[in-house]
Chain A
Amino acid sequence: MSIRLGRRQFLMGSSALAAAAAFGSGPAWAQGATLRQFFWGGQARADRTYAVNDLFTAANGAGVDSSFLGWGDYWPKLATETAGGNAPDIVQMDYRYIVEYAKRNAIAPLDEYVGSALKLDGFDEDQLEGGKVDGQLYGISLGANSVAQLVNLAAFEEAGIEPPNRDTTYDDIRAMGEAFQSANVRGGIRVIADGSGSEPMLDNWLRQKGLALYTADGQLGFDADAAIEWFTLWQGFRNDGICVTAEDQALDTNGPLETTMVVMGKSAMMPSNSNQLVAFQTLMTDALTITNYPRIAEGVGGGHYRKPSMFFSVGGSSANKELAAEYLSFFVNDLEAAKVLGVERGIPCIEATREAVAPDLNAADQIALEFVANLGDLLGPLPPPPPAAAGEIDASLLRVLSQEVAFGARSPEDAGQYFVSEAAAILQRAS
């Protein structure tokens, strides 16, 4: 009996100890001057972000407890934390998800802080607009970005062909592809990756035709005829050896950059984004550049737009919304912070910070900045944020259908019809 009591006392004692330990560290949580931040990205982005956090702490006294994950892991984790009522104070948000999060109050409207804690003087109007949902500001754009064609200059030089420029059309791509075939360099490298499964490329092509991927009320912005024309265009490219083969394209799983056609040496061009040139250049010794997506005909523009590459938003349940707004203000305004951040998240949205950043940029960053700043007649209006099911339509419909056409399991006509009907069903189910 005495032994039992002894054990019990021991257990009680140790649990009291544990409780004391928990209380001991309690005050550190309760201080409230620490912001929790969560973003997606790689180590390079993390290093820059942490450096800015240190600057913020030095200037403001508030600490920032920051963590990051890759894109694929980021969204489940963020959704889980949000579901658990434990969302971070500062979350990195994407154009694709901002409506979903805003409508569910998972992120907070920032309008009441604008002008006080959150200073947005001189902020690019279109970038500000991109962070609004139903007229309220939910996200601060961390940089502008545009889709862009990644070009392997070295491959073009070997083939003895002029690389594409801002006037290049889809017909020109065909001519280049034929020239590439007869040049037969690098084991028969093709001029372009198979873009039929690339949602941004389809979007760009549709916009040049005056259509849209999605309408403002979240419906499909094109009909089966357009979809059939799209699949037929690429079927022709594939059959004539202009773009890469179905088997090669299937190696690109939309995952790591290493599986893309240009990095694998299968094609000299492929659809990409302006802010990715730096990342691609670190993977390759060949000189790379970016240019716009092809035009559907000479002189037709309006396909591109300056997309907010990503936002910072404030968690809807955050206890420190004002402080978080101050942080966002510091992040986009402070010139020292801007120099640290460079254009890794896209082109800064305030003229003064752009000027502060420009002198220190390397060649690849300069190209990206020039490209996004000078889109000219290629630039069209910012499309409305895509509906909630857009991710599913992209991943499980467009990409799969493009493969089915490529491997001969469906005709372009069949795929076009199916795309439109199935996309409507997916949108219906998600709403």
Chain B
Amino acid sequence: MATQVDNTASSGAGRVAPPSFWSGVWQNHAPGYLFLLPWLIGFLGLTIGPILTSFYLSFTHFDLLTAPRWAGLDNYMRMFTNDPKFAASMRVTFVFVIFSVPLKLAFALGVALLLNRGMKGLPLYRALFYLPSLLGASVAIAILWRQMFAGNGLVNQVLANFGIQGPSWISNPNTSLWTLIILAVWQFGSPMIIFLAGLRQIPQDMYEAASLDGASKWRQFWKITLPMLTPVVFFNAIIQTIEAFKSFTPSFIISGGTGGPINSTLFYTLYLYNEAFGFFRMGYASALAWVLLAIVALFTAFSFLSSKYWVHYDD
């Protein structure tokens, strides 16, 4: 409104031509844009720029030392027709996502339900359970994990007390990926906090009414808690799935960057990293990155499409 008043005022004076649309925008919003400028420069220069560059590079062969050479669809062709390690890393990543995300969510929900019953020292427990998530992606935790699951590590020492001779978890291709899945599940803190907030939103009178009608706790959980919680489950599932696809640090540290033994912990992102910085195939790595983006986008889109059949909003 103010803009219009200004414009009529200036054209009413009849001396100067009415300002163009853009100068009007500038006159009125200049300070806003100026304050926005640092972010805008960062966004264009550090986010959009690299994204577009990587898209271009994904159609080239680029070894960092010499100028990129146009390669058309070579990189994408190789990925899908002639790269056993691409397939191997894809398999490892999917196993990781398919097992770690549901397990983590189930665990987070279970703990949230326990904490929601109102107990003494609740803030302390919440903080304690959240701690692994804060430390989660750190190098230190991955190193700790490596030591816990080594052949003579803590895990096997505990098992030995029960007379079980555990394998060398992290250096055996049959078990190494599972140690990473357990690590991911252990970092259940952030979905747990969100579940807890969701549980608090469920009206207590529903439970009261249900108990009056004689519904068991178990039945209350399936008929009230879970349906009321589906929006939160949906949110957590999406966030955790994306996180799981992007997972890098644990496998990088635990396998010393090799994805070994025998590529059993070769996460997609680790393979991408090795191609880019280990073997200087920036173009191929860019193509890998775009395929990952497409996969995550597909997964997310599928989740949204399916959500109308199982997510219940208050209506």
Q: Which residues of A contact B (CB under 8 A)?
A: 4, 7-8, 11, 72, 75-76, 79-80, 82-83, 100-101, 104, 106, 246-251, 253-256, 259, 389, 391-392, 395-396, 399-400, 403-404, 407, 409
On whether the beta carbons of B168 and A248 are closer than 8 Å, the reply is: yes
| Chain A residues with CB under 8 A of B274 | 395-396
Say which size band chain B's interface belongs to: 20 to 34
Contact A79 B262 (CB under 8 A): no
What 6 A-B pairs come out closest when comparing CB atoms?
A: A253-B256, A250-B171, A255-B256, A247-B168, A79-B64, A250-B261
A106 and B262 within 8 A (CB): no
Are A101 and B256 touching (Cβ within 8 A)? no
Asked whether A400 lies within 8 Å of B262 as measured between CB atoms, the reply is yes
Report the bound CA distance from A139 to B18 in whole Å: 69
Provide 13 A-B residue pairs closer than 8 Å at the C-beta atoms, listed in order of the A residue. A4-B31, A79-B63, A79-B65, A83-B65, A100-B65, A101-B65, A248-B171, A250-B171, A250-B172, A251-B150, A253-B256, A399-B260, A400-B262
Distance in angstroms from B61 CB to nearest chain A CB is: 10
Which B172-213 residues have a C-beta within 8 angstroms of A?
172-173
Contact status B263-A400, CB under 8 Å: yes
9 extra A-B contacts, CB within 8 A, seeds A7-B31, A389-B279:
A4-B30, A76-B277, A82-B65, A106-B65, A247-B168, A248-B168, A253-B257, A391-B279, A403-B262
Q: Which residues does chain B contribute within 8 Å of A106, judged by CB atoms?
A: 65
- For window 217-260 of B, CB contacts with A under 8 Å fall at 255-258, 260
Q: Is the CB of B151 within 8 A of A247?
A: yes
- Inside 8 A of B63's CB, which chain A residues have their CB? 79
Closest A residue to B84 by CB, please name it.
Answer: A422
Contact with A along B150-173 (1 / 0, CB 8 A): 110000000000000001101111
Q: Which of B168, B260, B262 gathers the greatest number of chain A CB atoms within 10 Å? A: B262
> Of A8, A82, A255, A392, which is within 8 A of B279 by CB?
A392
CB distance from B120 to the nearest CB of A (A): 44
Pick the residue among B258, B262, B277, B278 that contacts A253 (CB under 8 A). B258
CB–CB A400/B260 < 8 A: yes
> How far, in Å, is A23 (CB) from chain B's closest CB?
21
Which residues from chain B sit less than 8 Å from chain A, CB to CB?
30-31, 34, 63-66, 85, 150-151, 167-168, 170-173, 255-258, 260-263, 274, 276-280
| Beta-carbon contact of A395 and B31 below 8 Å | no
When C-beta atoms are compared, the residue in chain B nearest to A82 turns out to be B65
A396 to B279 alpha-carbon distance, docked (Å): 10
Residue of B nearest to A187 (CB): B152
A7–B66 Cα distance when bound, in Å, is 46
The contact of A254 among B65, B173, B256, B279, by CB within 8 Å, is: B256
- Say what secondary structure dominates the interface of chain A: helix
The reply to whether A403 and B65 form a contact with Cβ atoms under 8 Å apart is no
Q: Which of B64, B85, B150, B261 contacts A407 (CB 8 A)?
A: B261
State the main secondary structure of chain B at its contact with A. Answer: loop
Bound Cα distance A293, B185 (Å): 45
The answer to whether A395 touches B64, judged by C-beta atoms less than 8 angstroms apart, is no
| A250 x B65 contact (CB < 8 A) | no
Residue of B whose beta carbon sits closest to that of A389: B279
CA A396 – CA B275 in complex, angstroms?
Answer: 11
Q: List residues of chain B with CB within 8 A of the CB of A256.
A: 256
| B151 closest partner in A (C-beta) | A247
**Bound-complex Cα distance A409 to B263 (A):** 12
- A252 vs chain B, min Cβ distance (A): 8
**What is the distance, in angstroms, from B89's C-beta to the closest C-beta of chain A?**
11
* Assembled-state Cα–Cα distance A181/B306 (Å): 61
Q: Contact between A80 and B64 (Cβ–Cβ < 8 Å)?
A: yes
In the assembled complex, which residues on chain B have CB atoms less than 8 Å from the CB atom of A250?
Answer: 168, 171-173, 260-261
Question: How far, in Å, is A235 (CB) from chain B's closest CB?
Answer: 16
CB atoms of A104 and B65 under 8 A apart: yes
Contact between A253 and B260 (Cβ–Cβ < 8 Å)?
yes
User: How far does the Cβ of A237 sit from chain B's closest Cβ, in whole Å?
Assistant: 18
Q: How far is the CB of A187 from chain B (nearest CB, A)?
A: 9
Instruction: Give chain A residues whose Cβ lies under 8 Å from the Cβ of B150.
Output: 251
Chain A residues within 8 Å of B263, by CB: 400
By the criterion CB–CB under 8 Å, are B64 and A83 in contact?
yes
Contact between chains at B171 and A251 (CB < 8 Å): yes
Asked if A407 and B278 make an inter-chain contact with CB atoms under 8 angstroms apart, the answer reads no
Contacts A248-B168, A250-B172, A391-B279 hold; do A104 and B255 have CB atoms under 8 A apart? no
Question: Are B66 and A104 touching (Cβ within 8 A)?
Answer: yes
CB–CB A259/B256 < 8 A:
yes
When the two chains form their complex, are residues B64 and A251 in contact, meaning their CB atoms are under 8 A apart? no
Give the shortest distance, in Å, between A345 (CB) and chain B (any CB): 24
Q: Evaluate whether A404 and B65 lie within 8 angstroms (CB atoms) in the complex, with A76-B277, A247-B167, A251-B168 already known.
A: no
